[in-house]
Each structure stands twice: as structure tokens, then as C-alpha cells.
Chain A
Amino acid sequence: MVQAESDLVKGLSLVLPPERVLSGSAVRRAYECDAYSVERHHPTAVVLPESTSEVQDVVKWCANAKVPFTARGAGTGLSGGAMPALGGVVVSTKKLNKILEIDVANRCLLAQTGVPNLALTRAVQQHGLHFAPDPSSQSVSTLGGNIAENSGGPHTLKYGVTTQHILGLTTVLASGELLVLGGKAGPDLGYDLASLVIGSEGTLGIVTEAWVRLTPLPRAVETATVCFASVKAASQAVAAVVRAGIVPAALEMIDRFVLDAVASAFTLEFHPDTAAMLLLECDGSPETAHSEMAEALAVCAKFNPVETRLAQDEKERAQLWTARKKGIGAMGRIAPTVVTHDGVIPPSRLPEMLKFVYAVAQRRGLRVGNIFHAGDGNLHPIFCFDDRLHGMIEEVVEAGEEVIRKCLELGGSVSGEHGIGVEKTSLLAEMFDSPSLALQSRIKGVFGAGELCNPCKVVPDAKGCIEHKIRWRGVAT
């Protein structure tokens, strides 16, 4: 294995122009973690390929030299998927930033995977189209990152997650070979391999190009906020909307703790008695949007809201969404460190689940806010704390694990959209029994992924992942 920085840089510089091979202490620090900063490990070098064939060259070099490699987009991942767990090379997609073909008539486009999510929509919105997955990080997070994590977002309630919007993929496998799946007309009826690659967190290869489905923008959109005097009433209203069979484009919940943080940052007004606010959006034809909204508000009305407000114009609507999407960021104003957790429960269990989340926070002396995708039961408790205080990180990590275990107890999932990464490998083992987990771990072998391609993620297999786990946390505390 090539370990020394100088050897690595020298070797990679034969494959790529030297100015696109980065190393040194500043680079090591910048790439040691993604947005999940609890666990860190630095790479030895970072490369910036510009094409699929350059990625192939880099991967072939790494395979030959037995150097681990980890793909990275914008680094907004929330479970450590882009952390180079065993060091080696970070393959940044920053320069894989071109949209290669736009086919408006066939409602699809081909892009390199370093293109930010929102840039895809910006490129086609004049044609009345958009790329539907809308993670809160969408202004920076990349198509490749969205594919790796199978990202969701508020509007996935109606439109589906990333996997429903990818028609074709070009993946550089761990051997450096290319795997091309699907295309403009979507995947054919063979074994659906694309579904394995999407959401694989970069452990099966590096996706360099993708055909994405473009969805017509809805002709009409109605957005409303409904405020309740208790979290229980708000969560009961969510469960009732779901049960009524209404599928709004989005159904989000924001509790008072987050509302207070958001209100001062984004001038969001709400009734003083509010304990939790629902953000509801219905879209489609003007008639559909209107009738669905009326139906949803009628269901909400049964739970005695203190205030119901329809956005009057596009400006007001945009303001509501800014508050929602930047909500977690606004939490940074109240505490030096915030950690967002991610778990899923059946929506009917929301009242019980939220009660549990507040109880955990209270027992552990932590502050917690909730701003999340209520319609599909996808919880995001945000713990606010001061990481300079001794033992706080452990407290928050344990609180998160308690919450996720409760999700499992209620029949849910350990992650709805943030992924397993390094954060949840042990929790994944609690979701599946050992034969099922063993089955998961054999999928990397199907793609010939071995131990070098984004090691220690999802289902850890590489030697050394366990001893390293101690070291990653060690850096943060």
C-alpha cells in the first residue's frame, strides 16, 4: 500500500494534471469530515477529476496502489458518508460540474454528478420543468451526493425520493471499469441494478454521470401554515391528513423551539400560543391544488388550530419555504453546536414519538427542536449544545441513539434520508437480524467493490474499521 504523502501525490500527478492533486495540512483538515462532524479522519490527498475517464484513471491507480478512495460532492452529508475513514484519496466531484445534454422534449437531462441539485432546476425552469428531489441542502449539495444518499426533501412526500428521478447512471466501479445503466428512457426490465447503486453511499463505485428525470412544474401551488397550541394536536392532525388519503406535495412540522429561532432570522410570524406549526403545500391544476388544500385544512380544523393562514402570493410562499429550508441553519444562532438526527416512524405514531423525543432531551438536560417531514413520518430532532462542555458530545450521541431505537421499536427505520455512513453502522445492525445484515454486506462483492471503495460505510467490512472508529471520535472530543 502506498502510504507516504509524497509517493501518493507523485503517483496521482502522473494520472491527473498536478494542479488538480491537492495535499498539505490545510487540505487534510478541510476534507476530514462532511456535515457530520462528530467523526473525522483526514485524507492523504484530494483529486479533482473533470471527466469520467479521469475518474477511471484515478480509481485504477488507487486499485493498483491499494489506496482507499472516497467520493465527495459538496460535503453536506449528515452521516459521514464522505469522510475518508481509512485515509487515502478523496475524489472530489467539484470539477465534474457540467450539464452535458438537456432534452426538453423528452423531459430529461444528462449531467456530471458534481452539478448542484438546484443548478439542474435552474437550467430547465424556463421550460416549465424541474428536478423534483429537494433536500434542504439543495443550493449546494450535488447530484452525485443526492444519488449516493438517495436524498429526499419536503416534496418527496408526493414526488418520491432521488431513486424515482434517475433514468440512467454511469458508474466507475472499484476496478476502474465502467458500468452504464439505463438511459433517456429509464432502466429496462432486467435486474434493477440502479436501485442498488442509488443510495449505496459511494460504496459500490463512483457515479460520474446521470440521466435525470425532469418533472413539469405544477401549474398551481397553494401553501398554508396551521398553528396548534400543542405538539400532540399538531401530530394528530398530521396522522389524520395521512389517514384521509390526502397526499399533499409537502407536509412539514416545525415546533416552537425552532419557530422562535427561525422567526428572528427570517421574520416569520405566528400566533403567540403556537406550540407547533404545520406547513402544508398542495399543487397540481388550480382546481386540484385548491380542493386538496381545502380538504387538508378541514381535517386540521378538527384538532382546534389556533391559527390557519394561506400564503397570499409567491413572495409569502417563498418566505415560508426559506424559513423551513434554512431552519436548521438558524438553530446555529442559539447554540455553538447543533446535531440533527434522522429516523422514520409510521406517521400514526407521531404523537407518541414526539413525546418521547422531548422526554429524552429533558432527562439528559439537552435542548431539542423538531423541524421535519411529518407526512412521511421522517423525524429530525435537532439537539443544541455546547461541544466545549465535557461529555456533551457523548450525551447527544446517546440521546440520538435512544431516539432511533424508539423509531425501530415503533416499526420504523434508522434513517429516512441522511444515510448510514459511519454514524449508524451499529444501529443498522439493530434494524436487521444477522442473516439479513450478512446479505447486505455481500452486495459490495457483487459490484467488485472490495475494501478500498469508501471503506467502513453502511456495512463495514474493511479490516481496521473498528479500531479506527475509536480514533475518529477521538479527534472530535
Chain B
Amino acid sequence: MNPTSLDELCNAVRGAAKIRLVGKGTWAEWCAPSDAQTLSIKQFTGVTDFRPDDLTVTAKAGTSLFELDQVVRAANLCLPFDSRHGPVLAPRLGTLGGLVAMNLPHGSERHNRPVRDWCLGMKLVLASGEVCSVGSQVAKSVSGFDLHRTMAGSRGGLAVIAEVTLRLAPVSRAELGSAVVERDVTGPCWIGRTLRTDFDMVVESTRRQGSLLASDEGTCTIWSTIRMSGAAWQVGPGGVREPLPGAQQSQIERNLKAMLDPESKLVEGRLQ
């Protein structure tokens, strides 16, 4: 299924029994495999509202990050990824929806914050096919619960992110990546975060094993070909997540899923 309009997207979601959302498949290997029917958002594209004077842009989820960046660069703004980084630390090749749904650490996070923080608001399509807005279109808002922040990183398991309003950065912030890349990260890898006090030790032991791909002291993030020991948390290929959440947290995660997707229609690129 390749919907091109919001109506088609809603109908596709409403009519489906079980679906797996995909963009361009950039992050497929970080997700657990699934044989559910795929719903691709990559033809649901376009910038719907660009306000260079307010440093915001609203675009449909299938919009490619490359195109979005081109549009905003014409006004001296950017999605602040560092061009010296490869496609995992600076994900410029996938879709806006994929970027936000994954919310993985990136190489410019120290100066430019996580992707979640760029999201000001969203238009969602719920599993019922209903369209809802969350968040706002302005840089600061405490109006209602920040469900748009929770949607960032939800891996398509809660609702369809149909449209995102992002806060943009001035173009000068694009080259502020603080990650040190040892080897180009092209395929699936482990991405972990350590305490500051453990960072050097984990970097060293990962390096000794020959598995260090990149590291960022600014955010204590490490990219590695194998599972790290000593990380406070990490995610890996196939949607593996460590450590697992506590019982109460799991229960509320399940409640949230049940509230948004009661028939469990949306197959998450699961963190398990």
C-alpha cells in the first residue's frame, strides 16, 4: 500500500488488519522482522507549511530528508546533521517519518539536541483511521500532554505519524557534529549511551575488540558492531533493547498501546 493523500492513508489504516509502517527502509535492520502487510508512506510527500521567519517547517511524513533539507537551505536553514557523518549518524537519506519514528541518537546531538526535541507538533492517523493533532506549531507550548514527544521513537507502533512540524536550525549549525567517526557506519549496529564516568572505559574496550564505529563524548553515545558491556542502555539490530523496562513501566507502555491501537493493528519496529 502506497497512499499519496491523507484520505488514502486513513482509509488504508482503517481497512487493514495488521500493518507495518515503512518509509524508505533506512532503519529496517534495527527493527524486528515481521510478515505483516507493509504500509509505505514514501509517496505521501510534500512540504505543507514553511515559515522561514519563524524557523519552522511542516511536512508530510514521506518527504525525503534530502529534499526537505534542500527546501529549507534555500532560506539559510537546515536539518542540523553534520555532512561529515555517514547515513546512520546523519540520516539524510530516509524519510521525515522514519527519522522521527526512530528518534535514534545522531552525531550532532550535543549541539543540536535529539530529533525528539526538533518536533513541535504532529498530525497523527490513529489505528481507527481518525486524524488527530498533537503539540503545536510554535517553539514553546505547554498546552495539553506532550504526546508528540512520545510519538518520536515509537517506531510506528502507536499511531501513524502523518505530518510533522519541525523547528529548524540556522545553516551554520549543520557542521557542529561532535561525534568521532572511526569507521563509516553503514549497516545495522549497536547504539548505546553510557554514564560520563564510564564513557572512556566503554570506548576503549569496544575499540580493543575491534568493534568501535563511532563515539560522541558530548552525549556519551557509542556506535559499535557488537553489543557493548558497560552501557547504561543500548539498542541493537532486530529491535533489541537493553535493559528491559520495569513491570510498572511495561504496564503503562501496554496501556498506551491499547489506548491508541486497541486491536493491535500496527506492528511496531519493536524494541524488545
Residue of B nearest to A188 (CB): B233
Does A4 make an interface contact (CB < 8 A)?
Answer: no
Does A164 make an interface contact (CB < 8 A)?
Answer: yes
A195-B150, A245-B76, A245-B77 given; A417·B140 CB < 8 A: yes
Q: Evaluate contact between A435 and B132: CB separation under 8 angstroms.
A: yes
The CA of A163 and the CA of B138, in the complex, are separated in Å by 16
Q: Evaluate contact between A191 and B153: CB separation under 8 angstroms.
A: yes
Q: Evaluate contact between A191 and B253: CB separation under 8 angstroms.
A: yes
The CA of A186 and the CA of B255, in the complex, are separated in Å by 22
Per the 8 Å Cβ criterion, residues 411-449 of A in contact with B are 411-420, 424, 428, 431-433, 435-436, 439-440, 442-443, 445-448
The CA of A36 and the CA of B252, in the complex, are separated in Å by 32
Instruction: Return B152 CB to nearest CB of chain A, in Å.
Output: 7
What residues on A are CB-neighbors of B193 within 8 Å? Answer: 185-186
A184-B195, A193-B252 given; A199·B76 CB < 8 A: no
The CA of A191 and the CA of B154, in the complex, are separated in Å by 6
Contact with B along A369-386 (1 / 0, CB 8 A): 000010011100000000
Of A160, A180, A185, A196, the residue contacting B145 (CB under 8 A) is A196
Residue of A nearest to B138 (CB): A344
Does A105 make an interface contact (CB < 8 A)?
Answer: yes
The CA of A105 and the CA of B76, in the complex, are separated in Å by 38
A184-B195, A189-B103 given; A344·B146 CB < 8 A: no
A106-B196, A183-B232, A185-B194 given; A439·B134 CB < 8 A: yes
Q: Which interface residue of A152, A160, A413 has the most chain B CB atoms within 10 A? A: A413
Total interface residues on A, CB under 8 Å, equals 75
Instruction: Return A88 CB to nearest CB of chain B, in Å.
Output: 23
Does B186 make an interface contact (CB < 8 A)?
Answer: no
Q: Which of A21-29, A47-55, A269-277, A345-353 contacts B (4 or more CB under 8 A)?
A: A345-353
The CA of A137 and the CA of B251, in the complex, are separated in Å by 36
Q: Which of B15-23, B48-56, B62-70, B88-96 contacts A (4 or more CB under 8 A)?
A: B48-56
Q: Which of B31-39, B204-212, B240-248 contacts A (4 or more CB under 8 A)?
A: B240-248
Chain A contact residues: helix, strand, loop or mixed: loop
Does B259 make an interface contact (CB < 8 A)?
Answer: yes
What residues on B are CB-neighbors of A185 within 8 Å? Answer: 193-195, 220, 232-233
The CA of A439 and the CA of B125, in the complex, are separated in Å by 12
Instruction: Return A145 CB to nearest CB of chain B, in Å.
Output: 13
Contact with A along B159-179 (1 / 0, CB 8 A): 000000000011111000000
Residue of B nearest to A190 (CB): B245
What residues on B are CB-neighbors of A222 within 8 Å? Answer: none
Does B158 make an interface contact (CB < 8 A)?
Answer: yes
Q: Evaluate contact between A193 and B253: CB separation under 8 angstroms.
A: yes
Q: Evaluate contact between A177 and B248: CB separation under 8 angstroms.
A: yes
The CA of A418 and the CA of B143, in the complex, are separated in Å by 9
Q: Evaluate contact between A443 and B138: CB separation under 8 angstroms.
A: no
Q: Evaluate contact between A163 and B248: CB separation under 8 angstroms.
A: no
Does B85 make an interface contact (CB < 8 A)?
Answer: no
The CA of A414 and the CA of B137, in the complex, are separated in Å by 12
22 pairs, A vs B, C-beta closer than 8 Å = A105-B197, A106-B196, A164-B113, A190-B245, A191-B153, A192-B149, A192-B152, A193-B252, A196-B145, A196-B146, A245-B169, A245-B171, A245-B173, A344-B138, A344-B141, A346-B53, A346-B137, A348-B53, A377-B139, A411-B138, A413-B141, A420-B144
Starting from the known contacts A190-B245, A416-B138, A420-B143, 9 additional A-B residue pairs (CB-CB under 8 Å) come to A107-B196, A152-B140, A164-B113, A188-B245, A189-B233, A193-B252, A242-B54, A428-B144, A448-B255
User: Which 3 pairs show the lowest CB-CB distances between chains A and B?
Assistant: A245-B170, A185-B232, A195-B149
